[in-house]
A and B are shown apart, each in its own frame.
Chain A
Amino acid sequence: MTKAYQLSNIKVSFQQNVVLDIPELTIPKGKCVALLGENGAGKSTLLNVLACLSKANTGSVTLLNQTAALPLSSSQRQKIGFVQQHPYLLPGSVEDNIKLALKLQGIPATQHSQLIKQALEQTKTTHLALQQTNSLSGGELKRVAIARSIAYQPDILLLDEPFSHLDQHHIQLLEEFIVSFAQQQNKTIIFSSHDRLQGMALADNIINLVAGKITSSPLLNVFHGSLSEHLFDTGKLQIHSTSTQSNAHHIAIDPREIIISAQALQSSMRNSFSGRLILIAEEEESVRLTVDCGESFHVLISPESLKNLDLSLGKSVHLSFKSTAVTVF
């Protein structure tokens, strides 16, 4: 398998705080990958490491099966397109900006007009070619920045929060672009988002980041606290786990592993809480329930189960899950 990226023992610290800690991560080539996490989870830091713009304190990055040593070689740099969360366009026209990118990449001037045309067409910004960058709207600016980053035809495109602060029309245009870019052969696209559903809808693979660490659990039921003697204290609840990691400060509970019932269950499950149903929402082919037990728990059930349990908002319910359903990190 050709890998777009292989990260080993990556640690990034700011003022002695570890903001990114990834022992191992492989991103296959030719995939659309969503990087999900809350604000401050380390998504931008990871994207900066992937873009080879900032160096991790420890660890190594392999880019398309070659070690990525900073500063990158010209040929490696040409393989990466990166668009920041708030992209910066230089003063001048849209075309000037794309031309500058091609010039900096050392692409012969004879190819410029063709590549500019292609990039503008791909991002549906052809009509903006001669417009001054200071007169672009937020959505146009993001699409133009993407056009600039794909003009030199990189194999990997990294987008940091591409959908933030955009209206529905521009979100749709960007989603269409991401899907079409990902469909091209051997092109890898990695984008960050805090919208889990959007990530799941667009991407082949999901990377969940919590407090700088990758977690395999979906980003539901993530709690912060401290672990002592198999008991994780969130400050409001105590949750049993099987882990003894003393340096762990987060847990995640797979919403499919939580059992919801009208009465408390007599079972071997170590965790049992009673609470009130506060939200019922449709999610793809499941139903997502939110139950307030002091902490809010999300539970995924089938529409049939919802019908059988006769659940309604405000109803008292019981949640049960095994200690083994608790992932500690």
Chain B
Amino acid sequence: MNYFIDSFSAAFDLIISFDPAIYQIAITSVLISITAAVIAASLAIPAGVTMALTPFRGKAFIQHILNTLMAMPTVVIGLLLYGLFSRLGPLGHWGLLYTPTAIIIAEAILIFPIMMNLSITAVQSADPRLIPTLMSLGAKPLPLMLQVIRTTRLAMLAAVITGFGRAIGEVGAAMMLGGNIEGFTRTMTTAIALETSKGDFELGLALGLLLLIIAFALNFILSWLNSRHD
């Protein structure tokens, strides 16, 4: 029990003393996840809204695929991209393996179906009169889509935050594609795995606490925006 309490105390000390090693890892992690979330959101939200607004054959099938992809294990994405980016792979000459870019691509792919699905749900759960109203007022496809995104912006923001949360907590693909290189591709999750295996429980715990603080901050911002909207 003492070991556990001592570890917590040491972890807090590391956070409060602004330990540069910890913050370096945290910043790398946040930057990679934000970039992945921005890239995924800029593709998934328009795709989700367009899909929700357009009736077409095979829509239910695509939604089944999206649902399946939402549950796809991260190591599978890591494995597939590893095959593509490794020296012998078809994209090996791009030299992306063990770079932050490879992690960003993997995380963007990982969170794309989540964001797209949540965007579809956001549009489908909007007031059913919204789209006929905008159409009757003369909205063409692009202004219609932008206005729908604007009206459902909180749900869209929730989609982005959920995606970001999934990206920052991801470990499998980050480990396989990033290689856990200190000061370069070491993220909070890969560092936690490494430090714990090395026996440096305090550092792992400090990073874990930072992850929780980030998750809490995101949820707090979302609740605050929701309450402002209400």
Give A residues with C-beta under 8 Å from B.
51, 53, 74, 77-78, 80, 82, 84, 86-88, 90-91, 100-101, 103-106, 148-149, 152
Contacts and interface: CB of A to CB of B under 8 A. Distances in A.
A74 B135 CA distance: 11
B227 interface: no
Given A84-B133, A90-B151, A149-B136, 13 more contacts: A53-B132, A74-B140, A82-B136, A84-B136, A88-B133, A90-B147, A101-B137, A101-B138, A103-B143, A104-B139, A104-B140, A148-B137, A152-B138
Given A84-B129, A100-B147, A78 B136 contact: no
A103 B144 CA distance: 12
The A contact surface, by secondary structure, is loop
B130 interface: yes
A80 B132 CA distance: 13
Contacts of B132: 53, 84
A312 to B, nearest CB: 50
Contact of A53 (B130, B135, B140, B143): B135
Contacts of A105: 137-138
Contacts of B30: none
Given A90-B151, A91-B151, A104 B134 contact: yes
Nearest to B134: A104
Contacts, number: 45
B interface bracket (residues with beta carbon within 8 Å of A): 10 to 19
A77 B133 contact: no
Nearest to B135: A53
A89 B135 CA distance: 13
A88 B127 contact: yes
Contacts of A152: 138
Given A88-B129, A90-B151, A106 B138 contact: yes
A80 B127 CA distance: 22
Contacts of A78: 138
Nearest to A76: B138
Given A78-B138, A88-B127, A104 B133 contact: no
A103 B139 CA distance: 9
A83 to B, nearest CB: 8
Q: Which of B138, B139, B143 has the most CB of A within 10 A?
A: B138
Contacts of A82: 136
B138 A87 contact: no
A314 B21 CA distance: 97
A272 to B, nearest CB: 50
Interface string B107-151: 000000000000000000001011011111111100100010001
Contacts of B151: 90-91
A138 to B, nearest CB: 15
B137 A87 contact: no
Nearest to A148: B137
Given A88-B129, A100-B147, A53 B136 contact: yes
Nearest to A85: B129
Contacts of A87: 129, 133
Contacts of B143: 103-104
Contact of A104 (B127, B129, B130, B137): B137
Name the 6 nearest CB pairs between A and B, nearest first.
Answer: A88-B129, A82-B136, A77-B138, A105-B138, A101-B137, A88-B133
Contacts of A53: 132, 135-136
Nearest to B230: A134
A100 B146 CA distance: 12
Nearest to A145: B133
9 contacts: A51-B136, A53-B136, A77-B138, A78-B138, A82-B136, A84-B136, A87-B129, A90-B151, A101-B138
Contacts of A80: 136
Interface string B68-110: 0000000000000000000000000000000000000000000
Given A88-B127, A104-B143, A74 B137 contact: no
A149 B132 CA distance: 13
A135 to B, nearest CB: 14
A152 B137 CA distance: 9
Contacts of A106: 138
Given A100-B147, A104-B143, A88 B138 contact: no
